[in-house]
Structure 1
């Protein structure tokens, strides 16, 4: 298993290098002039040229790229012109908010989609199967920003069940001690149940928005994988041997159908990281997605490059976790590796 992890990390290095090169080039062709934006509308050409020279934007692209790579090697992602803070500090402060929202949305979708897919496969053609198809169709048809706005309108404006979408906490509460960066975990760790309820009341609606978006692929893959396994010879043999239906479904069929589901979970998690950008804007969530959007609007190169690099590293780690889960679920994967 350790050799497999080392091989996966080694193969990820060229991908990260490619991401660094492509991101650097793409940020340089974005419309807008960073120096002109931060100089202001009344700035003279001389003032704009001075700012451009200070930022190093007057240098040829190869020179800028070499300087950027040197900074990366030393762990310096640059300084955000918008916040005035090092990009690494901004990402470190905002990433837990995005991770907490994404993981909670994924957890909600798993708790709903996996049992729904199993029941739809076991009771093929029943009302549960039709419900699974409706949920899958709605999940892939509704844009995530539309779902978020619709939920805000219904649960906040009409019913009043949710607070105003103003971030991770209401103005009346202070952030908990920074232990993990996840407000739900940190508030429970210090025993602050009131702040926990406030944090949960703010996060459940955007998490449900992400869960609706991710329900469809998980439910469809679970159903399709279960149908394929339930039609296999060893399941028919288990039924003929008189085993309990629950033992056959969960002990034999679901475990063998789990590998495609795990693959889908990895893909869905990566999709959610992208959908987070829209959800964070709708709910004023102070995550890394909204941070990248603000940097794009102002043509602030360093935060955009840091955001893409952080996402690339997360994808590499995610694929590594999936490979490890493969070995835990199916020992044959470890033997072949």
Structure 2
């Protein structure tokens, strides 16, 4: 526990740096918030009045101090594009991004880990070559291109997938919010029609992220399994007459999971970033599309809130990885 607290304390300088950098960037990037919201026909007096109301006419140090004071009280500011507090918007949209990211990660794991194990056990086989091809394709193809390709094939050509218009069909109503995850909320009340509709909308964007996540997971699984299978204790266990199934699943896989778990945490953080592009392709109402829309409108508060949220999630994710590593490796509990 002490080690985790030290890691948490060590993350605070990085969080402070994120706050400073995002604040400065939203002030120096091209575009004037006051001019954008005043409209193209607004007079200079109107623009100056809006700038004064937003506090943009004050010196940067004074603006930053006001921003930090608001953060201490849990206030991320107001979104000028939605007219809502940024914290309210993020809390409303975060479940959509989390549901998409988790489903994409689960799809990637379900394919990549077995594929990496088979490729390591059967070197030079068809599965090994397939693993290398998939890894190369996953690294090479941009995630937005994969999404557009899937939409073109499964929606436009084959008609198997619904229109990429968000989390539900335009004529469907979302389930009562409990967790914010439509699949879970619909299952809790037994609304299976809504569940099927949400699942149908989720498949293509989740597969897009899953293909993006598949490459690094399969690669590290294969490399980790190869390293463990060449270890001395594996040769001893094989000489003792253990079956291949027991040897691979009980001895090799457990020891190979440590770098895989660390990679899963990194991939999850990468998927949160890739969400920005996937959400725009599939009109997914997550925090990624929210940040892009705010950036186009030169609305700084939502962009700052988005980056800060991602930084906090990344810190919490690293702590979770440490906990899992300690559970898998008893030696880590004494560090």
TM-score, normalising length: structure 1: 0.99
For the residues of structure 2 that align with 1:68 and 1:327, how far apart are their CA atoms? 38
Partner of 1:257, secondary structure, is helix
Cα drift, residue 14 of structure 1: 1.2
1:70 is aligned to 69
Is it true that 1:30 corresponds to 2:15 in the alignment? no
- 1:121-147 CA deviation, whole Å, 9 max, x = no partner? 000100000010011011001110100
TM-score, normalising length: structure 2: 0.99
Identify unmatched segments of 5+ residues in structure 1. none
Is it true that 1:45 corresponds to 2:38 in the alignment? no
1:152 is aligned to 151
Partner of 2:269, secondary structure, is helix
1:303 is aligned to 302
2:323 is aligned to 324
For the residues of structure 2 that align with 1:171 and 1:185, how far apart are their CA atoms? 20
For the residues of structure 2 that align with 1:185 and 1:226, how far apart are their CA atoms? 34
1:206 is aligned to 205
Q: How does 1:238-317 map to 2 (within 5 A)?
A: 238-317=237-316
- 1:130-185 CA deviation, whole Å, 9 max, x = no partner? 01001101100111010000000000011111000000000221110110000001
2:13 is aligned to 14
Cα drift, residue 268 of structure 1: 0.6
2:126 is aligned to 127
For the residues of structure 2 that align with 1:189 and 1:122, how far apart are their CA atoms? 41
For the residues of structure 2 that align with 1:209 and 1:295, how far apart are their CA atoms? 24
Cα drift, residue 5 of structure 1: 2.3
For the residues of structure 1 that align with 2:188 and 2:15, how far apart are their CA atoms? 36
- 1:206-243 CA deviation, whole Å, 9 max, x = no partner? 00000011110000000001001101100000000001
For the residues of structure 1 that align with 2:189 and 2:330, how far apart are their CA atoms? 40
Large movers: runs of 4+ above 2 Å: none
Identify unmatched segments of 5+ residues in structure 2. none
2:173 is aligned to 174
1:221 is aligned to 220
For the residues of structure 2 that align with 1:173 and 1:143, how far apart are their CA atoms? 32
For the residues of structure 2 that align with 1:45 and 1:104, how far apart are their CA atoms? 49
For the residues of structure 2 that align with 1:78 and 1:215, how far apart are their CA atoms? 37
Is it true that 1:93 corresponds to 2:92 in the alignment? yes
C-alpha RMSD of the superposition = 0.6
2:142 is aligned to 143
Cα drift, residue 4 of structure 1: 2.3
For the residues of structure 1 that align with 2:104 and 2:329, how far apart are their CA atoms? 27
